[in-house]
Structure 1
Amino acid sequence: MLNKLNHAVIEFYEKLSSWEHDVVREKGLTLPQMHTLEVLGIHQAMRMKELAGHMGITTGTLTVLADRLEEKGYICRKPHSTDRRSIIVELTDSGLEMFHEHDRLHLRLIEELTADFSEQERNLLLDCIEKMNGSF
């Protein structure tokens, strides 16, 4: 059973990743860039160090991502109001618009994938995914 579950999760991950690559590429972004916009869209403005932690990357890697996103006009960086060592990153209006557009695409995909699910099955799926996410 675990072997079958393993293969099913891998297959789902590969299909979702392929879909995500196609969607993001159309917007002229990389997956890490879009992930940055998603984290900021969900959690709002935060310190660079916090953002890197949410994304599971180093602050050095985030700096490169932030440079590119700032060049594209999707984020802005500003000094923290009380901590001179910290930089706050936040979405610009364009970044917020891109986040909402991408989030709507995700919602549409979830609606399509679970169209034949009952409300109970959707709740069970949510519970399982939340448990798996909590394990990381």
Structure 2
Amino acid sequence: MIDRINHAVVEFFEKLSSWEHDVVREKGITLPQMHTLEVLGIHGPMRMKELAERMGVTTGTLTVLVDRLEAKEYARRRAHDTDRRSIIVEMAAKGRELFEEHDRLHLGLTEELLAACPKEDREALLRCLTAMNERF
């Protein structure tokens, strides 16, 4: 059983990744850049260090991502209100629009995929996904 679940998870990940790459490529943005906007869109403005930790990247990698998002006017940096050593990253209006559009696409895909699941299994699916996400 574990082998079948493993293969199903890997197959799902590959299909979702392919879908995600196709969607962001059309917008002229990279997948890591879109993930940065997703984290900011879901959690709001945050310190560079906190954002890097949440994304599982180094602050050096994040610096490059934020540089590129700023160049495209999707995000901006600002000084922290009380900590002079900290920089806050936040979405710009253009980034908010892109995030909201991308989030709607995710919602549509989720609705489409859930249509294949019996309604009585959806709560169990949510519990499983929540438990698995907590393990990361």
Could you say which TM-score interval applies, normalised by the shorter chain?
A: over 0.9
The runs of 4+ residues in structure 1 deviating greater than 2 Å are 116-120
Q: Unpaired segments of 5 or more residues in structure 2?
A: none
Deviation at 1:115, TM superposition (A): 1.0
1:125 corresponds to which residue? 125
1:1-136 aligned within 5 A: 1-136=1-136
- For residues 29 and 121 of structure 2, the distance between their equivalents in structure 1, rounded to whole angstroms, comes to 34
Superposed CA deviations along residues 97-134 of structure 1, whole A, max 9, x for unmatched, are 10000000000000000113343311111110111111
Helix, strand or coil at the partner of 1:77: strand
Report the TM-score, using the length of structure 1 for normalisation.
0.97
Deviation at 1:86, TM superposition (A): 0.2
Q: Which residue identity lines up with residue 112 of structure 2 in the other structure?
A: E
Q: Which residue identity lines up with residue 134 of structure 2 in the other structure?
A: G
Superposed CA deviations along residues 35-94 of structure 1, whole A, max 9, x for unmatched, are 000000000000000100110001000000000000000001001011000000000111
Q: Which residue identity lines up with residue 46 of structure 1 in the other structure?
A: M
Q: Which residue identity lines up with residue 79 of structure 1 in the other structure?
A: A
Superposed CA deviations along residues 7-30 of structure 1, whole A, max 9, x for unmatched, are 110000000000000001001011
Equivalent pairs, count: 136
- For residues 118 and 90 of structure 1, the distance between their equivalents in structure 2, rounded to whole angstroms, comes to 39
Report the TM-score, using the length of structure 2 for normalisation.
0.97
Compute the RMSD of aligned alpha carbons.
0.8
- For residues 95 and 74 of structure 2, the distance between their equivalents in structure 1, rounded to whole angstroms, comes to 4
